[in-house]
Amino acid sequence: MNKEVLLYFRTVADEDNDDNNGAQTSVVFPASKLRAMNPTADTSLMLYFDSLRNTEGADDQADEITIADTVVLTITANKHEAVMKSIVRAINGKKSNPKADGLLIVADDVTTNVAGATVAATYVDANITSCGAIATVAVHAGS
C-alpha cells in the first residue's frame, strides 16, 4: 500500500499566533507534491511544491503560469545535503511503516503552546533552526 505522507510546516513561536491576521504561518503539503529542494544561501534551503490552489492544464487556467508554492527552511550553515537527506528518509520511513500516521512534522517553530507552557520546537533534522517562510501562490483569476 502506498500511503500519502503529509509534510507540516509552521513559522510562529507562539501557538496562539498561528494564522495571525490571515498571514501564512502554517501549512500541510502532500509529500507527493514536493518537486525540488535547493540551497538559496549558506543557511537557507528552499522546498518547492505543486501549487495548493492551482493545477496546471485546467481549462480555466490554460493561459496562466502556475508557480510553485515554497517553504524556506533556515539551517545550520552549509548543511543542505544533510537536511535534504533527512527529509527524504523521513518521508520514505513514513511511507513504508504501516503503523505510522501520515503526518511528518518537517519544521514547527512553536515554543509556547495554547496553554502558555514552554515546549520544544520540532524539526525533522537537528540542522534545521527554523521555518523561515511559507509562500503559497494566489488562485488564478479563472479559478
pTM of the model: 0.87
The dihedral region occupied by 12, where left means phi > 0, alpha psi between -120 and 50, and beta the remainder, is beta
pLDDT digits (tens, 9 = 90+) for 111-122: 999 999 999 999
Q: Which residues pair with 81 in a beta bridge?
A: none
Q: What does the alpha-carbon distance between residue 121 and residue 103 come to, in Å, rounded to a whole number?
A: 16
Residue 142: inside a domain: no
Burial of 31 (0-12, 13-18, 19+ CB in 10 A): buried
User: Which comes out higher in pLDDT, residue 106 or 52?
Assistant: 106
**119 and 109 in contact (C-beta within 8 Å)?**
no
Number of folded domains in the chain? 1
User: Which comes out higher in pLDDT, residue 68 or 64?
Assistant: 68
Q: Which domain holds residue 101?
A: 6-67+94-135
pLDDT digits (tens, 9 = 90+) for 12-64: 999 988 876 666 799 999 999 999 999 999 999 999 999 887 766 555 555 55
**121 and 83 in contact (C-beta within 8 Å)?**
no
> What are the start-end ranges of the H helices in 2-137?
80-96
